[in-house]
Amino acid sequence: MPNLINIISGEMVFVGPRPALYNQDDLMALRVAAKVEKLKPGITGWAQINGRDEISLEEKVAYEKEYLHRKSLFFDIKIVLLTFTSVLMSKGVKH
């Protein structure tokens, strides 16, 4: 529910990179270097359906950069549909 409030207020979007935690300085630095820090955080994203917890921070940022370059309505729809599949199969979850 809090995420939906953040979407309504314009702080988040449905599809975008997951927000970094306050202590993930390494992830934030990689995002700045890749110029993807300007993307609004999202509930789901390209990196989440391509490995979630199983990929390195560098791979996550590479997927986020790819998303930045491919961003479109149809790509967002694809990501949302693939998210449901990933969640149902618990794909990429380590814990």
Q: Give the model's pLDDT for residue 91.
A: 62
Q: Give the model's pLDDT for residue 93.
A: 58
Tell me if 7 is assigned to some domain.
yes
Tell me the backbone φ, ψ of residue 36, rounded to 5 degrees.
-110, 5
Range of the domain at 69: 2-89
Tell me if 28 is assigned to some domain.
yes
Tell me if 49 is assigned to some domain.
yes
pLDDT confidence tier of residue 27, bands split at 50, 70 and 90: very high
- Mean pLDDT, range 69-86, rounded to an integer: 95
Tell me if 27 is assigned to some domain.
yes
| Residue whose pair of structure tokens reads 């790509």 in the numeric block | 75
Tell me if 50 is assigned to some domain.
yes
pTM of the shown model: 0.85
Tell me if 95 is assigned to some domain.
no
Tell me if 94 is assigned to some domain.
no
* Four-CA torsion 60, 61, 65, 68, nearest 10 degrees: 70
Look at the chain and report how many structural domains it folds into. Answer: 1
pLDDT confidence tier of residue 51, bands split at 50, 70 and 90: confident
